[in-house]
Homo-oligomer: A and B are copies of this chain.
């Protein structure tokens, strides 16, 4: 994905790459959930729901994610209003995350996609292997 949505605060609609914007909502949603860790983070959050979960625990549940990427992913989700962030002002601070109602509402379509993926990705993999074996000939 190039020209994906800028996550920084210096974005204004009409600035760059959106000559053919407003892009369709689906495309823009995919820009969000299509980033490397977002779907996994949302899934962990959803499985934990309606309980809160802390940063470190979340990290443990998303094996392979770096601190930086978990932080960035969560900030993006919070900014979108899909995730709520609550800070307990202790020292050291304890930060809790959970899906908002909006975030939870995404779980339906998203889990449908998960089911499809689990069901059909093996077939897609087989198709790719076949394509490799007969190199267009």
Contact = CB atoms under 8 A, between A and B. Distances in A.
Interface string A24-47: 111111111111100110010000
Given A79-B127, A102-B123, A105-B116, 17 more contacts: A1-B4, A9-B135, A20-B63, A20-B64, A24-B117, A25-B118, A26-B43, A28-B121, A30-B33, A30-B39, A33-B34, A81-B123, A81-B124, A102-B120, A109-B115, A109-B116, A112-B113
Contacts of A27: 36, 39-40
Chain A interface bracket (under 10, 10 to 19, 20 to 34, 35 or more): 35 or more
A30 B43 CA distance: 14
A131 interface: yes
- Judged by DSSP, the binding face of A is helix
Nearest to A21: B64
Interface of A: 1-4, 9, 19-20, 24-36, 39-40, 43, 63-64, 79-82, 102, 105-106, 108-110, 112-118, 120-121, 123-124, 126-128, 131-132, 135
A34 B40 contact: no
A116 to B, nearest CB: 5
